[in-house]
Amino acid sequence: MKADFKTIALVGKYNNSPASSGVLTRLAEFLQKRGHSVLLSAHTADTCSIQDFRVSTLNEIGRVADLAIVLGGDGTLLHVARTLVDHQVPMIGINQGRLGFLADVSIDTMFSTLQEMLDGKYTAEDRVMIESSVERSDDILIAAYAFNDVVVSKSTMGRLIEFEVYIDNQFVYSQRADGLVVASPTGSTAYAMSAGGPILHPTLEAFVMVPICPHTLSARPIAVNSHAEIEINLIHAMDARVHFDGQRHADLQVGDRVIVRRGKNPVRLLHPEGHNYYDTLRQKLHWGEKL
């Protein structure tokens, strides 16, 4: 059955070169020939000097688009997902980056793959979005989404920080470390994995908390239900910061509380029919290759 995607938005990566305009223009023309209404994100149109298609901001795209096709790497898709999640616009990622855990459609086969997907041959997958805030006294300093992870860490001075962790108002531990990663299942293959955390299947209802270089051998990653509320209290630090997907940050002071909870809406990703997450892991992590 043909999927009902009447209006499709195209979003390119932020450091796209003007040379990418040819790919985007061909893709827009391909969609128009299929009878779809095409929107181009304002930044993409400006960066690539494309003037032949309707242009909208990401927020406007969220209000009117039935589907967003994101050309770039996983970082681009992270940014777009945070903006579109509350509008519940599904996304397809075309990989122009290095890894492609999220943007899993190859640019070399994108026309044939999209032809099938737009005809209804796709797999839909809902993934957890993180909602986080920083509280100082009774004030909320910043509220932000994160698709991959929220990271509390030391900043430029490079000295250990000390923090306490509570889950659903229950004390878990105090820790001296370089920091703590709280990752969604999607983000379990990002910073959390590099810090020694487990890989979570993206459909799991869980968060994983991974200490960064803890000053004790007994500190271990822990997975908790994604409906739990995680609170990180900063006890001691000369210089500390919180990062959201590594794309947005805020400086922290002693006494600040970082709250992490599950977002109200999930991110919906569309994959080619037959998509297999374990194939992606095996390919991206080079499992089974001879040394």
Catalytic residues, which ones?
A: 74
**And the tokens for 251?**
């400086």
From the CB of residue 26, how many other CB atoms can be counted at a distance below 10 Å? 12
DSSP string, the chain: ------EEEEEE-TT--GGGHHHHHHHHHHHHHTT-EEEEEHHHHHHHT--SSEEE-HHHHHHH-SEEEEEE-HHHHHHHHHHHGGGT--EEEEE-SS--SS--EEGGGHHHHHHHHHTT-EEEEEE--EEEEEEETTEEEEEEEESSEEEEEE-TT---EEEEEEETTEEEEEEEESEEEEE-TGGGGTHHHHTTPPPPPTT-SEEEEEEES-SSTT---EEEETTS-EEEEEEE-SSEEEEETTTEEEEE-TT-EEEEEE-SSPEEEEEETT--HHHHHHHHTTTT---
How far is the CA of 130 from the CAs of 1, 36, 85, 257, in angstroms? 33, 32, 11, 16
Please state the three-class secondary structure of 14-57 as a single string: CCCCHHHHHHHHHHHHHHHHCCCEEEEEHHHHHHHCCCCCEEEC
